[in-house]
Structure 1
Amino acid sequence: MSTPAEPRQLTARIRSVPGVVQMFPPSPEPSLLSAPGAGTPNTDQSVCVEVKETPSGTRITAKIAAAPDQPAPETARQVADALLDGAAPGTTVDVQIAHIT
């Protein structure tokens, strides 16, 4: 049986995927929505993954910037595979490509 996902560990997994050049917070904090520079990348390198428990299982959300030298959908698939590795049954993953550099 798998243990619940730890956002810091998941963030590290994503950063190790070739083609991921940056990560963004999956959902900005409400206080940031009207702040100058809203929508800018998260400079806190520790957590850029959202993990929510739902009635149907765990949902993991990540938002990335992809490198231009490889297909962005393939990078997103690799990120999803990295997040699902060892995940509990019923876990779903949502990888958003926020930017292609």
Structure 2
Amino acid sequence: MKRIFLIGICLVLLSGCIEQQEDKDGSAEKRSDKVFVTISSPGDGQILKGDKEVLFEASAEGGKGPYTYRWSSNLNGELSTKASFRQDPSDLAKGRHMII
């Protein structure tokens, strides 16, 4: 039985870490380094059918590492804490999933 999964990828804009830098005269200056997140797979709004494994892949840059990743489904909860992983749709609950 084929299953249809609607994968909605929500890209959350993350504000970077705020740190203070002291100038030569001792005054502190606040600096914001923004974190940029790229979700390279699957595509935004992509509809996935069948039992073929799906690659989930993201990367982050900017700000201060190390970065942490958390992929979760509105139906199954946490799926992975890795930047990249494969998921067999047959291991997920039946229904439409919002993956963030």
TM-score (norm 2): 0.35
**Larger relative strand fraction:** 2
**Larger relative helix fraction:** 1
Instruction: Please identify the structure whose Cα radius of gyration is greater.
Output: 2
